[in-house]
Amino acid sequence: MNRVSVILGLLLLVICGARHSRAAGGAMQEVIAALSNDASVRIIYTDVLGDKKSVRNDLQVSPERTFHLILRETRLVPAAKGKPSQDRWQLLIHAREWNGQELLESGSLAEKKLIWLLHRRAAVTTDAAEKLNASTLVGVLMNRSQSFPAPNSGKWALRSAALTKKP
């Protein structure tokens, strides 16, 4: 490769990295953390993504705001001596209002708020699929060191499974 293409490639990486860091600056987590404890939250869509390992949940917090929560398994890296083990999966937040996605930090106020709202939703909803998905999300958020349930484990009510069920 010549120097010009290397420099252009590095410049592109720097520009994209700066753009992503602004998007991942915590704006979505701040919005979630600022939700009131009695906010109405619904899981309107749950399905497996193209990699067949990640699960996407669309969380509607108001008629005009929907968050896409993507659970993605990470490669398990052994912990160094004296350090806690890494999370076995990631929860990414994406919304149309923001360009990019954020990693929901373990133990953050936003994560605690999501646990509370999803636990409340699981308790009050009469929709069996939403109850199952909310309960599963609460379980994995409360213990990130466990692997999250695989899409075909029966612990998710997936839209694609409902669409392909035979009568």
Per-residue pLDDT at 65 exceeds 90? no
Q: Per-residue pLDDT averaged across 25-32, rounded? A: 78
Tokens at residue 65, please? 């705001």
* pTM score of the predicted model: 0.72
Mean pLDDT for the chain?
77
Residues facing 120 on adjacent strands: none
Per-residue pLDDT at 159 exceeds 50: yes
pLDDT of residue 121 exceeding 90, the answer is yes
Average pLDDT over residues 58-64: 84
Closest listed residue to residue 116, CA positions, set 31, 27, 28, 35: 35
- For residue 166, the model assigns a pLDDT of 46
- The H-or-E segment that residue 121 falls in is helix 109-124
